[in-house]
Structures are given as C-alpha cells and as structure tokens.
C-alpha cells in the first residue's frame, strides 16, 4: 500500500495567509526564487510605482521568501507583475536581502527560460532555435533570447541590456582601513563601483570570501558617503547597488577576467553578475580597452562560473554615451516549493544572522 507520506499535501498552516508557491533556479550558482502564486496584488500604474508599493506594503513577502528559515542572507527572488509597456511579455520586481534591485542579469537569464517553459510567451514556431522574451525590469525593457528545442528551453540564454554607461572614472575615495582608493562607477541597469582587489591588498583568487566582502563593503559605504549618484531618467535608479572587485585585467584578452560582486547588505553574488558584466563592458569600451562586438569572458571568483559579454551597439542615456551589451549564461532549475505560515510562529516573517 502506498505510504501516506508519498501523497503531497500541505502541513497545518494559517488558512488566512496565502501559500507562497515558487520555482527555484540558479544561474552560475546564484539562486533565483520565482513566485508563482500567493503574493498579493502589487498596485501601481508603472513598474517603478509597483516597486515602491511592494517596498511599502508587501515587504513581508520579501522577508518570508528571502530570509531564514525559508531562505538565507544571499537568497535572491523575483515577483512577476503586469507591465505597462506594450512590448513586454512580463514585468518583474527583484528581491534581495536588503530590498529591491533595479536590474538583475542572472535573474533575466533564468526568467527567459522560465517564461518560455511556463507559457508566458507565445509558443515558438516549429523549428525555431531561439525564442525572444521581452522582460520589463525596473531599469527598463530587457530582451532575452532563449535557446530552444521543440518549444522548450534548451541551452544558454543571452540578453540585450538597457543602455549602459560610465558615471565616473578615477574617482578618489577615502576608504576606512585602506586609505585613498581610486574607483570607477558604471551603470548596467544598476550602479556599481569597480576596483581591483589588489588595490585593497587582496588577491581575488585566493583571498577569503569574508575578507573580500569586508573590503568591497567598505568601498561601497565610502562611495555612498562621498559621491552623489545620478541617473538621467529617474531618481528611483540613482543609487549605488554594490562594489565589484576585479583581478585588474581590464585590457582585452582571450582568458576570462575574474571578479566578485558584493551588493545590497553584504550579499555575495555566486555568478559573474549579469548587470555587473554589462557595466564593466561599458567601462572597458569607455576606456578604449574593448571594441564593439569584441566578446570577453567573465569568471566568478566564488564559483568559477562564466558569463560572456560584448557591446553590440552604441546608444545614449540622457547626455551619456552608452552601449547596449549582450550577456550570455546558463540557468538551471533546482526545484519547487510551497511556503506556509503558522499563526503562532514568532518568526513567521523571517530573520537574518549577521
């Protein structure tokens, strides 16, 4: 006789609290938890307004999904919402340990697969080898191109970014514990500070992750305190998301260049960081170290996973010269889950350990 344990059912829970159903994926080791059902309606006439509404009224959903005991301090998530853009197949709000991002490349690579496999875009015609998915991110419309076979995702995904540009180069900041440090700031859907780990006395390949996190976080806080971030389109986008430490190998080479991204509240990206690759390519183009359609490989110092990227055309963002960047990587499914709440659970909305 079949065991009762083999029959899926929910354990006791508060019937007044919606069950949060999710699909979990990862791209280059960086997790993505996609909400299928259970999130209340996110109100707002635009995607940025929806982002503000969720931060103000539905932040308990983020905390329940990202924080322990259902998640961890480096969990990442996505809530799918309607978009006001006529060309978009879906809109998305990105969740992390501190709040809500404006862009997430690893998530776009995963969401491209997800959108195709879960029927959020029209089924591709017979024989189609790549499906197009238009994803409205808070930073703007991003197009994913999903390798497919017989109508299902199969293989890598690539995306074309919003216009990426350089905000500042050779910016001198006073970093506690490190003295005067020269950094660059560039935008790839989110703003990052870039600095070679060597300038902070660290080897990107052999240093302990904790030491890299501490150094990157010190740079982030220093830049926030000493430099004003501006975006020509919206104040909602005008914030420093994090710092990317690199191996300093910005000149073109066939070998992968290595980096690690520390963002939000000392969250560590396991992947090479899609929006970071976008911004770093814009920076290398700006400095004359890379040409249009010249592809480079970017390797995560955390997992060894690799994204490839290239600037595919010139663009503008306000008065800034910009480029559209193509980033490629591979996403994988890892599972599904249904998360519940018991009404007497004092930790129902989650917690984080420092």
From 104, 139, 148, 317, the catalytic residue: 104
Q: Is residue 236 packed enough to be buried (19+ CB in 10 Å), middle (13-18) or exposed (0-12)?
A: middle
The encoded tokens of residue 39 equal: 């999130």
Known catalytic residue: 104? yes
Q: How far apart are CA 262 and CA 266, in angstroms?
A: 6
The encoded tokens of residue 259 equal: 């980096």
DSSP 9-38: -PPS--TTS--EEEEEEEETTEEEEEEEE-
Residue 256, strand partner residues:
none
Q: How far apart are CA 282 and CA 176, in angstroms?
A: 28
Q: How far apart are CA 181 and CA 170, in angstroms?
A: 9
Long-range contacts of 311-320 (CB under 8 A, 24+ apart): 311/164, 311/281, 311/282, 311/285, 312/160, 315/163, 316/163, 317/162, 317/163, 317/164, 317/165, 317/187, 317/232, 317/233, 318/231, 318/232, 318/233, 319/232, 320/163, 320/165, 320/166, 320/167, 320/232
On the CB side of 39, CA atoms within 13 Å amount to: 28
Q: How far apart are CA 214 and CA 191, in angstroms?
A: 19
Give the active site residues: 104
């Amino acid at each position: 006789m079949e065991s009762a344990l083999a029959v899926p059912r929910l354990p006791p829970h508060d019937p007044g609290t919606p069950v949060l159903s999710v699909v979990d994926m990862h791209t280059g080791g960086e997790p993505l938890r996609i909400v299928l059902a259970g999130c209340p309606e996110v109100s707002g006439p635009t995607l940025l307004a929806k982002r503000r509404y969720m931060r103000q009224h539905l932040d308990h959903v983020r905390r329940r999904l990202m924080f322990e005991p259902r998640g961890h301090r480096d969990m990442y998530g996505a809530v799918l919402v309607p978009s006001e853009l006529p060309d978009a197949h879906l809109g998305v709000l990105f969740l992390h340990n501190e709040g809500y991002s404006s862009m997430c490349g690893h998530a776009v690579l995963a969401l491209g697969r997800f959108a195709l496999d879960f029927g959020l875009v029209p089924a591709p015609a017979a024989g189609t080898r790549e499906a197009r998915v238009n994803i409205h991110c808070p930073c703007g419309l991003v197009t994913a191109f999903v390798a497919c076979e017989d109508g299902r995702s199969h293989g890598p995904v690539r995306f074309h970014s919003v216009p990426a540009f350089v905000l500042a180069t050779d910016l001198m900041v006073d970093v506690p514990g490190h003295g005067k440090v020269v950094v660059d700031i560039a935008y790839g859907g989110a703003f990052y500070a870039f600095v070679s780990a060597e300038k902070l006395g660290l080897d990107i390949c052999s240093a302990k992750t904790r030491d890299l996190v501490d150094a990157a976080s010190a740079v982030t806080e220093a830049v926030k305190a000493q430099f004003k971030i501006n975006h020509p389109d919206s104040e909602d986008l005008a914030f420093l998301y994090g710092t990317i430490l690199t191996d300093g190998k910005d000149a073109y080479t066939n070998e992968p260049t290595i980096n690690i991204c520390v963002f939000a509240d000392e969250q560590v990206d396991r992947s090479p960081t899609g929006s970071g690759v976008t911004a770093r390519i814009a920076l290398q183009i700006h400095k004359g170290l890379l040409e249009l359609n010249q592809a480079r490989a970017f390797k995560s110092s955390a997992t060894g996973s690799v994204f490839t990227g290239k600037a595919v055309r010139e663009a503008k963002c306000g008065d800034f010269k910009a480029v559209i960047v193509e980033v490629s990587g591979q996403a994988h499914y890892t599972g599904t889950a249904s998360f519940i709440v018991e009404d007497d659970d004092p930790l129902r909305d989650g917690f984080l350990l420092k």
